[in-house]
Structure 1
Amino acid sequence: MTSRTPATRSRKTPGRPQPGRLGGIDAARGLALLGMMATHLLPTFESNANLTPTWIGLTFSGRAAALFAVLAGVGLALSTGRDKPLEGAELSGARRGVALRALVIAAVGLTLGGLEVNVAIILVHYAVLFLCILPFLGLGVKRLCAWAAGWILVSPVLAYLLRPWLLAPEPPLKLGQNPNWEDLGTPSRLLADVFFTGYYPVVQWLSYLLVGLAIGRLVLTKALVPVLLLVGGTVVAVAAKTLGTAAMEDWGGRAALEKVLDSPGYPLGSVLQVNLAGLPQEGSWWWLASAAPHSGTPLDLLHTSAVAAAAIGACLLLGRLAEWVDLDLLLPLRGAGAMTLTLYTVHVWVVSGFYLKPLPAGWTEDGMYFAHAAAAIVIGMVFAVMGWRGPLEWVGHAASRVGRGGLKALQ
């Protein structure tokens, strides 16, 4: 996206991205939202004995949520100085703002956690990730890349070593549901689940925010940066997945893990392609050699981070194309992407209304997904054209401004 002159920057065109906002980043958020909706509403496995993966599972499982998390890091970088990190009092204020925004997200997540719904809700983990990333907000791109690389390598090993110890007590330090307000009464169990034993373990998932923070510290308006993200991300993603597949299928990894599971007929091959969450990854170091979605291994974190980088690069390039042809090609995605917290919350609430209930007469799973996706796109477009913030985005933005400058910042 090319830089604009000060005169252009001060003028706001209805439907165009807000001044200083990168439409390609919002579009990537919209893509992540639609991908997560797909994994919530559409089957990721065929209903057969072999659990044959569907194209939804092969395409979106693990990648959509990772893109969502990487973009959180990108957004934090953009709001804290872009390629020139804030310092001193400004950085302290930004950290307070991020912390208050995280509390808003956590409150929404804990409330949604009280719903009966077959969705692994990410918001509480997302909020904790915001708090964990605070010490890194003042770092430049080189130091962030070093931290991200180290975290991707070390955090899975730490989790592998600690998980058996956390799951050994009776009851184990693991929640059987999404975190909710009642879980605050058992803080040790809640923290263990959020950081290590849950669906989105924060210890490993901090890798995504570090990667996103590093991406956001690049000069994203330079012409070459989106190309490097797209090409480099694609190459790394393919290499990581290829290495993980070879480890499992050619070097004996899957055979070793099948012996550890000791469950004849279990379709481990299919699970390794779609979703390893729920399997006790213990008893063999081979678990750390896979690139399976939601395994939290180094290769999984590397692959999904690289896919996220490539997706961000592609969306930024589409944003450049849209400016070149003077046509807002990204409006359907960036409108939804600018209000993901609101749309995600409404989506989960609506899905909970159908929990353990048959779909309405004439509805199919495909139809339900397209209804959710179309509603998100239309609502997002309306809000974008009108220049409105989403309701929950407004609350989060207000909390952030209070943290940065006190109550006078809202006046």
Structure 2
Amino acid sequence: MTEIHSTRLEGLDLARFIAFVGMVIINFKIAMGADDGAGILSLLTIAIEGRAAATFVTLAGIGLGLAALRSEYSQTVIVTLKRAVFLFVIGLLNSLIFDADILHYYALYFLFGVMMLTTKSRWLLASIVLLNVVFVAMVLAFDYDLGWNWDDYSYTDLWTPAGFIRNLFFNGWHPVIPWLGFLLFGIALSRISLSQASTQNRLILFGAVAFVSAEFVGTNLTNILFSIHPELAVFATTAPVPPMPLYMIAGLGVASFIVGFCLRFASLFSRIGIMRIVTPAGRQTLTLYIAHILIGMGVLEGLGMLGEQNLSTAVMAALLFCLIATVYALLWSRYFKRGPIEAIMRKVAG
């Protein structure tokens, strides 16, 4: 029983590592002003754009749900609220450097998520549907482009009260509506038998079917809606901006597939030595996320590589950073149980 539990946790750490690598690739691509271009590399980055972050949020939901199962409910609520405040503060500081920060959104996901920890799974899934319906209604009722300068992806009134709330809940990079749905999905997943191979296989199958179906429907529906009126095509997009329902389905599919795959093959990866290398990085993703902005993008800025770079350069820079980050995490883990930021959060918020 102990071995199964350990493998399960290692599988989730591997999933966090994969999601982190995907996020670094996309964020470096944005920061370096790399165009999508053409070819396999372009298709790969388009496929992971928004999906890696969605997987990251889903994993946070799984972690929150598992914490609730292991601890007293009141204690889980108190610790989660403290950590939400911590993430909100460092996320806002991070936003001063990188507009596409996800941490301050995370704080709100946790705030609302912890309120729904005792909600039955069927109502969590119903809430995911409702979030998508509300978002579509908001797009119809309000101007989604308000605040955005799409030429350089800057948000002109982010630091005004109205702009900040609009960005946080509606038209930011990872708006609470509907992105909270990924966290709720993770909470629901935490309640099923994740350690069983049959469950892992179903997650893999569901994830693959959901992703492929969303992309297939999106491609065909886009053409139909565009022929009716060009502006209607946005409602069939699977791109993360704006996060329409088909994007959410694709994101949930990728998250499900990665979680199931990593849990299913954690033992195999452990036997061939992969887990020993990547698990420390998977347990320090908060530290590494901040490092890829402060250090990674800082180095790129010093080298004059922020803007007008090609896609291959951006991807190579991201992979090089991830390699260095993995080596760092491996060395750090020999002396310390937690990463630097994780240790600070633990001390401050429990």
Could you say which TM-score interval applies, normalised by the shorter chain? 0.7 to 0.9
1:238-285 CA-partner distances (Å, limit 9, x unpaired):
112111111012x2x234453x4xxxxxxxxxxxxxxxxxxxxxxx4x
Could you tell me which of 75, 91, 95 is aligned with 2:73? 91
The CA deviation at 1:34 is 0.5
Identity across matched positions, percent: 27
Change in 2 beyond 3 A, CA 1:357/1:383:
closer
Structure 2 matches for 1:212-291, cutoff 5 A?
212-249=186-223, 251=224, 253-256=225-228, 258=230, 260=231, 284=232, 286-291=233-238
Greater percentage in helix:
2
Matched, 1:69 2:57: yes
The CA distance in 2 between the partners of 1:316 and 1:219, in whole Å, is 11
Of the three residues 369, 373, 376, the one matched with 2:318 is 369
* 1:129 counterpart = 2:104: no
What is the Cα deviation at residue 57 of structure 1?
A: 2.5
Contact 1:29 1:71 (8 Å CA) reproduced: yes
Gapped runs of 5+ residues in structure 1? Answer: 10-16, 169-173, 261-283, 402-411
For residue 61 of structure 2, give the secondary structure of its aligned residue in structure 1.
helix
Change (3 A) 1:178 1:354: farther
Distance 2:36 2:96 in 1: 29
Structure 2 counterpart SS, 1:133:
helix
Q: Distance in 2 between matches of 1:342 and 1:369?
A: 16
Q: SS of the counterpart of 2:173?
A: coil
**Aligned counterpart, 2:138:** 159
The Cα of 1:321 is off from its aligned counterpart by 2.5
State whether residues 25 and 318 of structure 2, in contact with CA within 8 Å, keep that contact through their aligned partners in structure 1. Answer: yes
Q: What amino acid is aligned across from residue 127 of structure 1 in structure 2?
A: A
Residue type of the alignment partner of 2:2: R
| Distance in 2 separating the partners of 1:23 and 1:301 | 26
Is 1:4 paired with 2:6?
no
Q: Distance in 1 between matches of 2:14 and 2:328?
A: 14
Q: Does 1:381 align with 2:330?
A: yes
CA contact (8 A) 1:208 1:305 kept: yes
1:45 to 29, 35, 55: 35
Tell me which amino acid in the other structure corresponds to 2:260.
G
Structure 1 position 106 matched with structure 2 position 88: yes
Aligned to 2:9, which of 10, 22, 26? 22
Q: Check 1:177–1:345 CA distance in 2 against 1; reply closer, same or farther (3 A cut).
A: farther
> Is the Cα contact below 8 Å between 2:222 and 2:234 reproduced in 1?
no
Aligned match of 1:301 in 232, 240, 248? 248
Conservation of the 8 A alpha-carbon contact between 2:8 and 2:266: no
Residues of 2 paired with 1:219 and 1:141: CA distance?
A: 14
Conservation of the 8 A alpha-carbon contact between 1:44 and 1:54: no
Which residue identity lines up with residue 66 of structure 1 in the other structure? A
In structure 2, distance between residues paired with 1:73 and 1:375: 28
Instruction: Report if aligned partners of 1:44, 1:61 keep a CA contact under 8 Å in 2.
Output: no
| Distance in 2, Cα, partners of 1:216 & 1:313 | 12
Q: Does the 8 A contact of 2:206 with 2:257 survive in 1?
A: yes
Q: What is the distance in 1 between the residues matched to 2:141 and 2:334?
A: 49
Distance 1:178 1:332 in 2: 43
Aligned with 2:163 (options 170, 177, 189): 189
Q: Distance in 2 between matches of 1:398 and 1:333?
A: 25
Task: Please report the RMSD computed on the Cα atoms of aligned residues, expressed in angstroms.
Answer: 3.2
Equivalent residues of 1:237, 1:304 under 8 A apart: yes
Structure 2: gaps (5+ residues): 148-152, 307-311
1:332 aligns with 2:332: no
**Structure-1 separation of matches of 2:142 and 2:299:** 34
Alpha carbons of structure 1 residues 58 and 257: separation in structure 2 relative to 1, 3 Å? farther
2:48 to 39, 45, 60: 60
Change (3 A) 1:178 1:114: farther
1:30-57 CA deviation, whole Å, 9 max, x = no partner?
1111001111224763469xx9981342
Q: Given the superposition, is the C-alpha separation of residues 140 and 322 from structure 1 closer, same or farther in structure 2, using an over 3 Å criterion?
A: farther
The answer as to whether partners of 2:91 and 2:101 remain within 8 angstroms in 1 is: yes
Look up the match of 2:309.
none
TM-score for both structures, normalised by structure 2: 0.85
| Distance in structure 1 (CA, Å) of the matches to 2:144 and 2:52 | 30
Q: Distance in 2 between matches of 1:52 and 1:130?
A: 36
Is the contact made by 1:46 and 1:52 (CA closer than 8 Å) also made in structure 2?
A: no
**Offset of residue 310 of structure 1:** 0.5
Give how far 1:320 is off. Answer: 3.2
8 Å contact 1:104–1:395 — kept in the other structure? no
